[in-house]
Structure 1
Amino acid sequence: MHTAEHQDPQNPSCAQVLMHLLRQYDVDTVFGIPGVHTIELYRGLPGSGLTHITPRHEQGAAFMADGYARASGNPGVCFLITGPGVTNAATAMAQAYSDSIPMLVISAVNRREDLGMGRGRLHELPRQQDVSRGFCIWQHALTSAQQLPEVLARAFQLMRGSRPGPVHIEIPIDLFPAPMPGQLTDYRAAPAPSLPGTDSNTIDTAADWLSSAEKPVILLGGGAQRCGKAATELAEKLAAPVFESLAAKGIVDERHPLCGGANLSFACVRERIESADVVLAVGTELAETDRNLVRENYQFRGKLIRVDIDPAQLVCNAQPDLAICADAGITLASLSDAVTDSGEPRRQSAAAEVESLLHACRTEWWPGSEERLPWVQALRDALPAEGILVTDSTQLAYNTNHALPLYQARSHITCTTGYGTLGFALPAAIGAALASPRPVIGLIGDGGIMFTLGELAAAVEQKLALPILVWNNSGYGEIRDFMDEAAVEQEGVNLHAPDFVTLARAFGAEGCRIDRPEQLSEAVAEAFARKGPTLIEITAP
């Protein structure tokens, strides 16, 4: 094993500069599992001001970083070892890519003289970067330690100034101890980029269309996370119903009379959108995952205005009549200043229309939903108004997507669409709880939790007052229902499960089991009062 000599404070190591720069970029927490290849990376950690969280699997590290990023709005950061560290984290990185979540992944890679040589070195992959190429917005492999400040600057500029996603930086293990010139204080973060607006003529055109519209609609996607106030003000001036993708749920308070929530999958809402004379779509892909897997694209009969920071997204899934490549917040604020106020009578009429649409959505619920709605209401009662709900791919979560109202941005962290992995909610809830002082509840199925159950140990170590609800329907219940609907004999969906309550206690967490919705609020309140996580097993009806 290589051991580096003590570094001269006047000539800090590459690893020390890395930790220092991460703090300069306002990173305070990193998620990772140390290994032989990252010993010298971790030499730079003590005294850096960074908090290191150790998951039990690298997939958990990246899911934690994802939850941290979604709750805070800042990039989540992972430290991974060469080879298996990267491959273990791949699924979680792909989830972040699918949902445009900023994530900085720092991994080791073999020594520079060994790269591409096939010498059978420890953790060796022929081309490690190829593993993450399909789900990163940028990758770079350092060839000298002196490249680090510029490479980090580019990574943060991309994550802060364009459509975000994972960035993967590889550092050969012989570069971690490499000396850097000057002192630590010589290294500073690059200034954040100013976000792009659009020209006044384009704003005037959009404002004219919207002001003259009789039936406008606003669609919000995950790219509008910072825009709740501006979006609400614009909707009120236009008397326009607002509908949100699952990634945007809560950006506009779902108690607002003009907010139709995340109900894009229902036919009545779809018809209202398609019949609008002007649709303003902001930060949304207009994809099937925005509509909870309704595959058919919208057939817009009126004008479509699209706003996105990514020019490619402006023409994806639907051709716009006006394409605005700009920051969502700047654009919405400019439009709000430019449009004509439609008046109180139209606002009241639009609010009544939204109320009617929400009632109509209830008639379109799929089979089995009605018996779960009391649990949805119980969960809404248990979740504090400012709380964050983190959901996995499980039956109850598909109902909370639509029927559980949320009141502010960054309240809904979900993997139920997009890449649609399993095992997300437990580690992502841990990341969210570490990132935000807001109360967090995780919701996961009995099948999904088995993917990442070991991360309970990390929640115990961090003494997180974190309720984890396990919806136990004795297997992969949603897939079982799809098999039944398709007249396919059930296979692989009825699972043996452990005693989750006993297992939680074995980890040092608390556990309890409930089977009635009215028991949930008390169980969650007790969980929030503890200094540690609580697994609440729900016996599904």
Structure 2
Amino acid sequence: MTTVGEALVHSLKARGVDTVFGIPGVHTIELYRGLAGSGIRHVTPRHEQGAGFMADGYARATGKPGVAFVITGPGLTNILTPMAQARADSIPMLVISGVNRRESLGKGFGCLHELPDQLALARTVALHSETVEEPMQLEPALDRAFAALTSGRPGPVHIEVPTDVMPMEHALVPVASPKEPNPLPDLTTAAPRLAAARHPVILAGGGATRMDAPLTQLAERLGAPVVQTTNARGLMHGHPLAVPASPSLAAVRRLIESADLVLALGTELGPTDYDMYALGGLPDFPPMIRIDCCAEQLARHPVKLALEGRVEMLLPKLVEALPAGTPSASGKQRAAETRAAAMAGLGDLAAPYPGLVEMLITLRDRLPGAIIAGDSTQMIYAANLAYDHDRPGGWFNGSTGFGALGYAIPAAIGAAIGTPDTPVIALAGDGGAQFTQPEMMAAVEERLPVLFVIWNNSAFLEIGNAMRDVGIEVVGCDPVAPDYRCIAAACSMPHASAAPSPEAIAAALDKLLPLDGPKLLEIDARRGGAA
């Protein structure tokens, strides 16, 4: 006999799932019946929030949905924060949870892990959420889940299976073939408009992350500077047309506003990218051509031409459709001037920021091609403003969009699981690290090449500064940091400490590299420098 739980694992495997992040519990035991012999790797986090952030990091690193198993009640509530982060950043995540027996749902009997309405709670952040109430409903539910994960704007999807349904008999059925993609929109209007522009600018968002080669071709054909949002960093590394700087910066806003045509690729034009300093709104966009996979997103801003579709499908076709011509001669100069002005302006925003970026460049250059997953911490804030990463899709963090603390450590672990031959750096402040610090043991358990970098100033310093700026006495912003040498020893990880300077960080890395397993670098900002 095949049970519903076994059939679920079989169907996930058939759909290309190779890893599940989860913590077994009494309400998910039956989901694990078929897991051991399935070939699917199971990774055990220390908290369901960790499971969700690992699934997020895995999805960003691989482009495939990250999958998590969680128990009823607290398992689902614990993973809601990662689901909300995934929703904000359009990350495909499948959360499969248990739920109590069908006859108890909504009755308030006081069952173990009971929620008044678990499905309704999941629907507050999930693109789609449903209950499998009978064995025959499993495959259609998975079809709908994967359709939501792979078509339109991705995000978190939730399926719950009652504990009395999991052990029921289920007849295995063939997995449905994926549907044909929607036809591509007509590009015959967009291509001539782009070719005719004298001062075009391209805005690249997270939807363009995997399109480094065609984006470079397009930019060169048009002579167009390419402004990268946080989630697009790593594209066109070192290219003279690349502008790896925040469109919230005055210099970048001037570049955008001086264009005669803007092409926006997979960016939601949200305020955490385009109006971080609450200047009163988004830049004054010139005429815009916008490509996005979400119709609702396209309708949120007036544009000259909206093209609905995935950037990875449309961008190569757009390059092919461009007529031959002479690219804008001023593009490289405009990009260079903007890059220089953006870097020069960092110190005006916060005196330590240029030094922080220099330290990050030291990390990048000593671990070339690494994925860096970041938290809300000073070095990340500085680099989100102006920093050129060297790997497409290799720079992401939780400090924009939903902005969840505790993201970096588990997200880096998920990325390392998904890309086993790639070094991964988790960059967190001591405050954010304490949200998910126990997840380091999952990296030890899995023997992952992750460098945990802790920026330790024993403070929520940015929040403390913000309170001072508006005349509020600072309260609650000085959490005591643990002794990270002892933390590393408890996790059986090598540890090195450095003062906050590029030279000190380079010397500490000499002690830790090569990255043949998890290691911990503590940058002790209390020792002076760019604190």
Category of TM-score, reference length = shorter chain = over 0.9
Counterpart residue number, 1:534: 519
Within the alignment, does 1:507 sit opposite 2:488 as a pair? no
C-alpha distance in 1, partners of 2:511/2:16? 34
Alignment of 1:93-492 (within 5 A): 93-181=83-171, 184=172, 186-191=173-178, 193-199=180-186, 203-250=187-234, 252-291=235-274, 293-295=276-278, 296-300=280-284, 302-316=286-300, 318-343=301-326, 346-347=328-329, 349-365=330-346, 366-368=349-351, 369-384=353-368, 386-436=369-419, 437-492=421-476
CA contact (8 A) 2:226 2:242 kept: yes
C-alpha distance in 2, partners of 1:130/1:387? 39
Change beyond 3 A, Cα 1:173–1:490: same
Shift of 1:190: 3.1
Amino acid at match of 2:342: C
CA contact (8 A) 1:161 1:193 kept: no
C-alpha distance in 1, partners of 2:281/2:149? 29
Say what the alpha-carbon RMSD is for the aligned residues: 1.7
What SS class does the counterpart of residue 274 from structure 2 fall into? coil
Within the alignment, does 1:83 sit opposite 2:73 as a pair? yes
Change beyond 3 A, Cα 1:83–1:449: same
Point out where structure 2 has 5 or more consecutive residues left out of the alignment: none
C-alpha distance in 2, partners of 1:145/1:523? 56
Change beyond 3 A, Cα 1:267–1:522: same
C-alpha distance in 2, partners of 1:292/1:409? 24
Change beyond 3 A, Cα 1:352–1:275: closer
What SS class does the counterpart of residue 150 from structure 1 fall into? helix
What SS class does the counterpart of residue 13 from structure 2 fall into? helix
CA contact (8 A) 2:245 2:252 kept: no
1:219-254: CA deviation from partner (whole Å, max 9, x where unpaired): 01111223222221111111111111111112x223
Amino acid at match of 2:72: T
Counterpart residue number, 2:505: 520
Point out where structure 1 has 5 or more consecutive residues left out of the alignment: 1-7
C-alpha distance in 2, partners of 1:512/1:376? 16
C-alpha distance in 2, partners of 1:89/1:320? 36
Amino acid at match of 1:529: P
1:167-198: CA deviation from partner (whole Å, max 9, x where unpaired): 000000111111012xx4x4325325425411
C-alpha distance in 1, partners of 2:495/2:179? 44
What SS class does the counterpart of residue 298 from structure 1 fall into? coil
Shift of 1:531: 4.5
Amino acid at match of 1:224: A
C-alpha distance in 1, partners of 2:275/2:35? 42
C-alpha distance in 2, partners of 1:35/1:138? 24
C-alpha distance in 2, partners of 1:161/1:59? 26
What SS class does the counterpart of residue 448 from structure 1 fall into? helix
What SS class does the counterpart of residue 154 from structure 2 fall into? coil
* Aligned equivalent of 1:43, options 33, 40, 64: 33
C-alpha distance in 1, partners of 2:98/2:507? 46
Shift of 1:166: 0.4
Amino acid at match of 2:471: A
- Most deviating of 356-365 and 529-538: 529-538
What SS class does the counterpart of residue 105 from structure 1 fall into? strand
1:345-373: CA deviation from partner (whole Å, max 9, x where unpaired): x34x3112211111111232112213423
Change beyond 3 A, Cα 1:17–1:222: same
CA contact (8 A) 2:274 2:283 kept: no
- Most deviating of 511-520 and 528-537: 528-537
Q: Percent identity among equivalent residues?
A: 44
Change beyond 3 A, Cα 1:429–1:292: farther
- Taking structure 2 as the reference length, what is the TM-score of the superposition? 0.94
1:408-461: CA deviation from partner (whole Å, max 9, x where unpaired): 321112111100011100000000000012211110000000000110111111
CA contact (8 A) 1:456 1:509 kept: no
Shift of 1:144: 0.4
C-alpha distance in 2, partners of 1:265/1:395? 17
Amino acid at match of 1:191: P
C-alpha distance in 1, partners of 2:315/2:449? 37
Change beyond 3 A, Cα 1:332–1:16: same
C-alpha distance in 2, partners of 1:479/1:423? 16
Shift of 1:377: 2.6
- Taking structure 1 as the reference length, what is the TM-score of the superposition? 0.93
Counterpart residue number, 1:3: none
1:470-513: CA deviation from partner (whole Å, max 9, x where unpaired): 00122101111212222222111122111011112112222221
Counterpart residue number, 1:4: none
What SS class does the counterpart of residue 111 from structure 2 fall into? coil
Amino acid at match of 1:261: P
Change beyond 3 A, Cα 1:193–1:453: farther
C-alpha distance in 2, partners of 1:370/1:331? 37
C-alpha distance in 2, partners of 1:458/1:147? 34
Change beyond 3 A, Cα 1:107–1:242: same
Change beyond 3 A, Cα 1:90–1:49: same
Aligned length: 520
- Most deviating of 507-516 and 351-360: 507-516
- Most deviating of 25-34 and 297-306: 297-306
